[in-house]
Structure 1
Amino acid sequence: MGKTVFVTVGTTSFDTLVEVVSSESLCDKLQELGYTTVTIQIGRGKFEPNPINRSNFELSYFRYKDSISQDINSADLVISHAGAGSVLETMEAKKPMIVVINELLMGNHQIELAFQLYKDGHLLYSTPSNLADVLDNLDVSKLKPFPKGQPEKFAKFLDETVGYR
């Protein structure tokens, strides 16, 4: 049985990420890496990818669900926007994650949060334009689990990152 990728943009619109992940070249790369299923949560974006159903590879999408916990928990790799909720939920599930920064939203706390967690070794960090390069060098064994059960530490880290303290 093949590996699965879950892609989430949360409740936002991040068409650039959806376009890149659903492109033929990136799907080919994911298939070469042994992934057979890609599910994309596209939020309120305008771009709707073409579903793919080929031998040993399937790509599908949806807009919203009440919960994406099952999608995260069943994924072998999560590719996510940098929203704190999506990042925290994925790290709590101990899933390897690539956080993709929305380059159109430069100067926001999401970039700072993702970059710090990347520097600490908890996740991989990308932009839509270099996601293929990150996948080329994908080694999830080097990622460190984020400490579980200490929400106050995450809250403090988040407050410090966005400048509340």
Structure 2
Amino acid sequence: MYAFVTVGSTRFDGLVQRALSDAVLDVLRAKGYSKIVVQCGNSEFDTKSYEWTGETWVRRGEEHIEVWRFKPSLQEEYEQADLVISHAGSGTIIDVLRLRKPLIVIPNSTLLDNHQEELASTLAQLRHLKASTISELPKAIESLEPSGFVPFPVFDGSRFREMLDEEMGFA
């Protein structure tokens, strides 16, 4: 199984460092994840245990653990992943939920307006995903039960048009 961790285009050192910690890697392995990929964006992490291949950092002795900064699109990663662990950015959340993938989100508390916390909390209450903190990530992975998630509604573009028409007085 494949676990994909992403911070999108942001810098979220805490999530990247925690995702690469023994505590998180051990629980992922125990849950059956044999491939773990971390998209770290501009985040910093300790590269001493990793070798640079020219495209990615690969953990020495564990070629199934890799880290890279950016790709033009993360769609392929989302599609292939059996679990996505992410910052709580709205674009990432929507992309992953539309694919019906199990999702654990960790809001970035360093952001000023705390919008990630509000979004994560609301979607967790609706049971579309699991919200966690950096420190609680191993426990969130261990207790993850994807069958308890409520599928995210399918996109209906006509709803927006109807709402806009109504708001503008055309309906």
TM range (shorter): 0.7 to 0.9
* Residue range with higher mean Cα deviation, 57-66 or 127-136: 57-66
Over 3 Å counting, the alpha-carbon distance change for 1:153 and 1:89 in structure 2 is farther
Give the equivalent residue in structure 2 for 1:88: 94
Structure 1 unaligned residues grouped into runs of 5+? 155-165
Q: Number of paired residues? A: 151
Alignment of 1:110-149 (within 5 A): 110-149=116-155
Give the equivalent residue in structure 2 for 1:27: 25
Structure 2 unaligned residues grouped into runs of 5+? 51-57, 161-171
Larger radius of gyration: 2
Taking structure 2 as the reference length, what is the TM-score of the superposition?
Answer: 0.81
Q: Deviations over 1:24-53 (max 9, x none)?
A: 221111101000001111011122553336
Over 3 Å counting, the alpha-carbon distance change for 1:102 and 1:151 in structure 2 is farther
Taking structure 1 as the reference length, what is the TM-score of the superposition?
Answer: 0.84
Residues 103 and 127 in structure 1, CA contact (< 8 A), matched pair in contact too: no
Residues 127 and 150 in structure 2, CA contact (< 8 A), matched pair in contact too: yes
Residues 102 and 128 in structure 1, CA contact (< 8 A), matched pair in contact too: no
Q: Deviations over 1:70-90 (max 9, x none)?
A: 000000000010001100100
Alignment of 1:15-164 (within 5 A): 15-47=13-45, 49=47, 50=50, 51-52=58-59, 54=61, 58-105=64-111, 107-150=113-156
Residues 42 and 48 in structure 1, CA contact (< 8 A), matched pair in contact too: no
Q: Secondary structure at the match of 1:105?
A: coil
RMSD over aligned CA atoms reads 2.0
Greater share of helix: 1
